[in-house]
Amino acid sequence: MLRGLFRLADQTGRMTYDVGEHPLHDHYRFELHHVKEFATIMSMLPSLRLKLDIEKGPLSTFYVFDLGHEQFFFHCVHHLASDYLSYKVFAEDLTRLLLDQQVEPPTVSCQAWAEYLHQTAQDLDLASLTVPPPLPDLAVSLQGKVAMPGSTPGGRNPECLVGLDISPSTLTSTANRFGATPIELLVTALHVAYQEVFHFNVMGLAFMTHGRQPVGNTVFDLSRTVGFFAHYVPVVLDAPRAAGLRTTLRHTQETLGTGIEDGVKLTLVRYLRDFTDPAQRRPYEIDPPFGFSYLAPTEASLPSDGKQPLLQELTEVMAELRSIRTVDLPRPFELAVTHEGDRLDLLVIGQRNQGIPPMMQRLLSVWSDTLRQMVATPDPM
């Protein structure tokens, strides 16, 4: 992806992707800066990030800061050139190289994995696929352009955010008490809030996962493969209303255990199956109203002296992901969760030039209240 540039195709805002050599433009940029204080480096980073340009390049920039007695490396890449999952692999390998550590050998190529997925889509037995039930229509009006609380200026997609004083360690320890993972806890709290606000049992999520999710009996090792792997798959949860946190959590665990694999298969059939008639694809076109993504904190292996030569900031990654949402979303709303230091942020992101409706703001409020309740529960068993 770093060998291409993006250009506006028409007045609708659609983009074209052009791969190849561009003699007048740079795909990469490398700069060396001699500075005297670390504070100078941090003050320079915001302006350096603005040098990315998806039409003229560069899409990726590399900066080395020389303090004389030590050096720091900063790498910034446009979100269209690399998904977050792939960037974590790249950053880990680059960190090892900078620390003169051994880098793990490469695994299967992105091309081989893509070919496998396409063939799998042709070979899947459609009769064996579990197609989720029809999803209810949300009674949420998107009409009008009145800015609601949380809306962003400049035509960008509006958002509402709630910050909770829940650190990554607190979320993990709470999940352990419930016998769950953090993401199972987050989805359970969301489902409980959804049922209270919309009065529906069934909730559909376009769940962000990645291409390393096993499909069938694949033996591919994708642990160090870099490529466009992040994607959304449909997941449908239908726990009974007022079932209680424990019952809803167990249902969430069962659904995410099998539902993600089913969702991956449905996605493969929808996009990669060679149907002769478009009508044959229609039963597999499940379109949940919500997208859901969770960016967990990065885990970097630091040397014994605790110094990290590669400057990584998850906060800035999220800032860019949110700032570029200037196009119509494929779903009415995106729900996102991320950690910013010791704070857990819950976000609702809406359609461009629209406000966040009151019911979605209420969903965010009940979602956060449910998480607080789960954290405060001493013995959920």
Is it the case that residue 324 has pLDDT exceeding 60? Answer: no
The gap from C-alpha 8 to its chain's centroid, in whole angstroms, comes to 24
* Rounded Cα gap, residues 365 and 142, in angstroms: 19
- Coil, helix or strand for 30? strand
Quick one: pLDDT at residue 343? Answer: 87
Is it the case that residue 3 has pLDDT exceeding 60? Answer: no
User: For residue range 124-149, what is the model confidence (pLDDT) as tens digits?
Assistant: 888 888 888 778 777 665 443 333 44
Q: Rounded mean pLDDT of the chain?
A: 78
Quick one: pLDDT at residue 353? Answer: 65
Type of residue numbered 220: F
Is it the case that residue 196 has pLDDT exceeding 70? Answer: yes
User: For residue range 8-22, what is the model confidence (pLDDT) as tens digits?
Assistant: 555 555 555 555 555
Long-range contacts of 306-309 (CB under 8 A, 24+ apart): 307/70, 308/95, 309/71, 309/72, 309/73, 309/95, 309/98, 309/99
Give the residue-averaged pLDDT of 342-346. 89
Quick one: pLDDT at residue 58? Answer: 80
Quick one: pLDDT at residue 308? Answer: 52
Domains, the chain, in order of start with CATH, read 4-81 (3.30.559.10), 110-376 (3.30.559.30)
User: For residue range 233-276, what is the model confidence (pLDDT) as tens digits?
Assistant: 899 998 988 788 889 999 999 988 878 888 888 888 988 998 88
Is it the case that residue 310 has pLDDT exceeding 60? Answer: no
pTM of this structure: 0.75
- Angle ∠(349,331,294) on CA atoms, nearest 5: 55
- Residue 81, exposed/middle/buried by CB under 10 A (0-12, 13-18, 19+)? buried
* CB 274 within 8 Å of CB 126: no
Q: Read off the pLDDT band of 297 (50, 70, 90).
A: low
- Nearest CA among 159, 166, 158 for reference residue 189: 166
Q: Read off the pLDDT band of 113 (50, 70, 90).
A: confident
Quick one: pLDDT at residue 12? Answer: 58
- pLDDT cut 90: percent of the chain above it: 20
For the chain, how long is the longest CA-to-CA vector? 66
User: For residue range 168-184, what is the model confidence (pLDDT) as tens digits?
Assistant: 889 999 999 999 999 99
Give the residue-averaged pLDDT of 276-303. 76
